[in-house]
């Protein structure tokens, strides 16, 4: 018998002063049986950082990610179905990253965990000429602090200013800062 995903509900109030975006989002996240709460919360962080101001070029949605190797964790498809933004978290191989950058107008990857810099050392030289690709590293202690905020029903206020992101929950606050590894 296959294990089922665990459903999490998140009410986000996003105030992104860097991009001038202020919005509320009611999200349903499926925690895949092989996924950790840490990874799920990094996906939620990615949503907060890259949600578009409006839906004129499509909205940002959670894709099948772990369940389907042809899909990212999040994507933004425009109204014609063209892939605008491909977003993944974790440590994919360079071929997947190059393929994502060739398929989308923009591809973003967020690496997290203590092994991120080791992973990056192994792939960075192979990606130096890849256009439309951005890679960020989230320090392990920050991604673990995000994981501690995970609850089946969450209400989070997320503020973004000068590259820092503050997650405020009823009982805790977490500050995270993505470190750029590659930006094009």
Domains in the chain, start-ordered, CATH in brackets?
38-154+177-182 (3.10.640.10)
Measuring CA to CA, which residue among 9, 76, 18 is closest to residue 44? 9
Relative to beta strand 83-89, strand 106-112 is: parallel
Place of tokens 């409006």: 54
pLDDT tens for each residue of the chain, 184 residues long: 567 889 999 999 999 999 999 999 999 999 998 899 999 999 999 999 999 998 888 899 999 876 677 899 999 999 999 999 999 999 999 999 999 999 999 999 999 999 999 999 999 999 988 999 999 999 999 999 999 999 999 999 999 999 999 999 998 999 999 999 999 7
Q: What letter does residue 170 receive in the DSSP assignment? A: S
Helices in 6-131 by DSSP H: which ranges? 37-50, 94-103, 116-123
pLDDT at 159: 98
pLDDT at 2: 62
User: CA 96, 74, 49, 163: dihedral to nearest 10 degrees?
Assistant: -10
What are 10's two structure tokens?
């998140």
* Phi, psi at 128, each rounded to 5°: -60, -30
Task: Enumerate long-range contacts of 83-87, CB under 8 Å, 24 or more apart.
Answer: 84/57, 84/58, 85/50, 85/60, 87/46, 87/50, 87/60
* Phi, psi at 88, each rounded to 5°: -135, 155
Euclidean distance between CA atoms 69 and 74, whole angstroms: 13
């Amino acid at each position: 018998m296959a294990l089922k995903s665990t459903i999490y509900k998140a009410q986000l109030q996003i105030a992104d002063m860097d991009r001038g975006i202020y919005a509320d989002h009611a999200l349903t996240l499926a925690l895949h049986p092989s996924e950790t709460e840490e990874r799920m919360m990094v996906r939620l962080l990615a949503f907060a950082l890259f949600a578009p101001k409006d839906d004129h070029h499509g909205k940002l949605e959670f894709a099948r990610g772990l369940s389907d190797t042809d899909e990212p964790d999040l994507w933004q498809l425009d109204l014609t179905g063209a892939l605008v933004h491909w977003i993944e978290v974790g440590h994919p191989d360079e071929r997947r990253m190059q393929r994502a950058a060739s398929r989308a107008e923009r591809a973003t990857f967020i690496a997290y965990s203590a092994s991120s810099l080791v992973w990056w050392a192994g792939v960075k030289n192979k990606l130096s000429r890849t256009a439309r690709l951005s890679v960020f590293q989230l320090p392990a202690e920050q991604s673990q602090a995000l994981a501690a905020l995970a609850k089946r029903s969450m209400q989070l206020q997320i503020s973004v200013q000068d590259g820092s992101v503050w997650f405020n929950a009823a009982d805790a606050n977490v500050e995270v800062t993505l470190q750029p590894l590659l930006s094009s």
